[in-house]
A and B are shown apart, each in its own frame.
Chain A
Amino acid sequence: MGTFAYFPHTEEDIRVMLERIGAPSLDALYSDVPEEFIRKEEYDLPSAMTEDQVRAWFESMAARNTRLKVFAGAGAYDHYTPSVIPYITSRSEFLTAYTPYQCEISQGTLRYIFEWQTMICALTGLDVANASMYDGPTAAAEAMRMCVASTRKRNTVVASSGLLPNVLEVLRTYAHYSGINLVETWDVAEAVAEGTLDLAGVIVPSINRYGLIESHLGLSDLVHGMGGLLVEYCDPSALAVVKTPAEWGADIAVGDGQTLGIPLCYGGPYVGFMACRTDLMRKLPGRIVGQTHDAQGRRAFVLTLQAREQHIRREKATSNICSNESLMALWCTVYLSLMGPEGMRRLNALCYEGSHYLKEELLATGLFSDPFPDREFLKEFVLTPRCDVPKLQQALLDAGIFGALATEEGYVSFCVTERRTREEIDNLVKVIMEAGL
């Protein structure tokens, strides 16, 4: 004892403490546990490693992964991370705090969440945002539940088949166990217009799984006319340039903040966001930070509207969500502060330029055709392959490139972010041309 860095107890400390308690040994503190449940065998775990050994262990694991040039999206995008962000988020005052229950010593967390809420409102155009959610797909599932909770006695939610595959999968899971009737269709307007559904809500993507920017003209009137709510699933980075959920007349916006400078990190942690109109505020799940003042009249921030939450309402709560992804919300807040409106416009213009260039170059190879020639896209697009797809993917992999993701419908998808240089794009095209496809 006293030989492990995270345990400060010396033999003498333990003796003093046991004496105060009146227990003869550490094991005596488990006298209330039936003897048969106390584990006597050694745990089958590796022997304790030193820091250097831990580092070496992970280095050996990392060496067995391949870092690829990412030309793929499908819900995770390779945007650049300004160096300021990890520097700020690794400050231990942020990193090692918990949910800001004691607001007097948590004004740092509370203020950045308030800033995050403000920025999510700015991006989506909606009135109110929560403190964040686990990820985009779970935020969509919470929005689905919110539709049902907000429209009395209605239980059907129509989801566009154009949503990302992983969003639809999570929606199916939550709908199945919550007893919500989830209808998936490519033609949302038609399904709603039939008017035969007990419609609680409709979920559509702002940019669909093929990367196409969707038009939702007239959709909100249609959905509202049938008594439902309109939810838009969006890429918050793209909202700097594409029409906002508010401009389309949506009631709720959700999506994943990963595109706001969060590294790919094999899929997480990312951060979900959720915003809505003021009149739905009290149905919003998750934590919410509000502004008030302290006893001396100074501006102060607190967790508010907590009567919706599980620690008060238990089984009647709007959601079971208790934690959020606070540190990742800070990540995105710092990102948006650094980028500003001009940075976000420029970043999107770079994505647009690079992806359109790649698409033209790929079409010029004659190995692909364009299934959606009249539709606009921003950074991700699909093509119809006229070649052997596994061979195409392998040729790219051999060249250290991850792209040409196969979609369920037989397309291949590519994605170009601002990080992909003209040389990298040209190289990708060259690899394909030389692959003998």
Chain B
Amino acid sequence: MRYYDKLIFELSRPGRSAFSLPRPEKDIPACGNIWRESALDLPEVSEPDVVRHYTNLSQMNFGVDTGFYPLGSCTMKYNPKINEEIVSMFGGLHPLQPASTTQGVRDIYSFMDKALAEITGMKHFTFLPCAGAHGELTGLMLIREYHMSRGDSARTKIIVPDSAHGTNPASAAVCGLDVVVVKSRPDGLVDIEALKPLLGPDIAGIMLTNPNTLGLFEKDIKQIAELVHGCGGLLYYDGANMNPLMGVVRPGDMGFDVMHLNLHKTFSTPHGGGGPGSGPVGVCERLVPFLEKPRVSGFHGNFGVILRACAYILSLGRENVKLAGRLSTLAANYIKESLKDCFKLPIESVCKHEFVFDGLLEPNGVTTLDVAKRLLDYGFHAPTIYFPLLFHEALMIEPTETESLQTLDAFIEVMHKIAAEAAGDPELLKSAPHDTPISRPDETTAARQPILKYSKV
């Protein structure tokens, strides 16, 4: 990667343009006080300027197509290209077109509803949520609707494990629920004895991701489900970690009542630098009547993303769906077993699609941040770092099923090399990365004196 230091505004020269429009016969006769008075400060550039600028920017970026991207809890699997190709077939449809003109679209939605229900063991899905956190919020709204419909208005608390994704408690708060935290045991699983006293007539439900953020399967899920249902609460499944279960285990069969899926994780749609995603929410039979109630986005959800996920399911088919989860689990365990000789594995257990190290076995002053930054020099994206919060030096690795053994071995070799560097030359790691377009930025200054937009010098 090469450092390129331009912003589009710096290429601007008055009088240049890159638009292709006919000339209007006259300008808007702007009378009255409803028209813009200030000048519009947008760049004035030519089309080649624009193409070259953004091409240069793209070359300072690392994506799944560039290299291995073991970002824990993000499921950075390969994004198939046929999925991109088919989207353009649907570009011109207006979202409010009459049903008689969108039969094909509606068939796609109903195919997806059926396919996702089959994969998850849920009854039906809503496709309105645009992302995972948006799905969580929608699912919690459905839980509240269910309780309210039964006159059960005292259920205002939601239980969230201390290992949960940060979005869980945040979504609960937006949904007007009070968060009650349940602790994890030393083995990383939900502490059932700590859970029991929390259960009562004020509990709306529990949010779980299974496997949890340590990549460990909550073995006691059956008992947890019985306990929570027993007190009148519902079980929410955070589908961020669904990938290892795809084709193996269905959340509906484990007793979950509501769940979301991240189509941009488990169903291979591209992450796009942080979106657009899609977070369809599925429910069990008794929640179906409420499914259409919460209107959480403008039209029909992110249809373009749903199309890509649909293409993925068709390509995968019933033959390969059984392998996706198993192969992601295989890859994670392979890395874990290959690296535990130099990274601290706090919980010795078979993992699912991901696992967490707690820093180097012999850190010699080197932190998880240093390891992550050094990995960039070797051409790998870093794992998720400092999450979950259960460990000080958390390093969360998720390889996915689309990486070859050679890639995994190359990563393992580099991680061993970094461990050796930590012992021999810790400074090299503390000042890493050395071979990227920029070195470590001054984040303190960025937050103390925020510069959030370009101003002409």
Contact = CB atoms under 8 A, between A and B. Distances in A.
B334 A87 contact: no
Contact of B7 (A103, A115, A321): A115
Interface stretch (B192-200, B283-291, B310-318, B415-423): B310-318
A177 to B, nearest CB: 5
Interface stretch (A88-96, A361-369, A425-433): A88-96
Contacts of A29: 326, 329-330, 333, 350
Interface string A5-47: 1111100011011101111001101111110111100111111
Contacts of B61: 93-94, 97, 105-109
Contacts of B17: 340, 342-343
Given A30-B326, A241-B36, A323-B132, 11 more contacts: A37-B253, A49-B314, A51-B82, A72-B94, A88-B50, A102-B376, A104-B376, A105-B60, A107-B60, A122-B40, A294-B440
A93 B318 contact: no
Interface string B437-457: 111111101110011111000
A350 B437 contact: no
Interface stretch (B227-235, B295-303, B359-367): B295-303
B139 to A, nearest CB: 12
Given A104-B440, A265-B91, A320-B173, A327 B275 contact: yes
Contact of B19 (A39, A128, A132, A342): A342
B219 A103 contact: no
Contacts of B247: 39, 43
Contacts of A27: 326
B176 interface: yes
Contact of B98 (A26, A36, A336, A397): A397
A304 B5 CA distance: 20
A137 B297 CA distance: 6
A93 to B, nearest CB: 4
Contacts of B89: 58-59, 61-62
Interface in A314-341: 314-317, 319-328, 330, 333-334, 336-341
A165 to B, nearest CB: 10
Contacts of A273: none
Interface in B21-38: 21-28, 30, 32-38
State the 4 A-B residue pairs at the shortest beta-carbon distance, nearest first: A48-B317, A267-B299, A267-B95, A327-B272
A244 interface: yes
Contacts of B144: 177
B318 A304 contact: no
With most chain A CB atoms within 10 A of its CB, the pick from B90, B273, B295, B349 is B273
A226 interface: no
B440 to A, nearest CB: 6
A56 to B, nearest CB: 10
B348 interface: no
Contact of A104 (B47, B270, B373): B373
Contacts of B403: 8
Interface string B110-136: 000001001100000000001111101
11 contacts: A14-B327, A26-B326, A48-B315, A68-B94, A93-B58, A105-B436, A118-B9, A174-B296, A242-B35, A301-B441, A314-B169
Contacts of B131: 134, 321-323
A55 interface: yes
Contacts of A344: 40, 42
B397 to A, nearest CB: 14
A6 B78 contact: yes
B390 interface: no
A8 B442 CA distance: 40
A166 interface: yes
A125 B118 contact: no
Contacts of A30: 217, 248-249, 326, 329
A396 to B, nearest CB: 10
A84 B118 contact: no
Contacts of A8: 402-405
A266 to B, nearest CB: 4
Contacts of A268: 95, 130, 276, 297-305
Contacts of B50: 84, 88, 334, 337-338
Contacts of B175: 177-178
Nearest to B373: A104
Interface stretch (A184-192, A195-203, A305-313): A305-313
Contact of B66 (A93, A172, A340, A393): A93
A104 B58 contact: no
B304 A269 contact: yes
Contacts of B317: 45-49
B391 interface: no
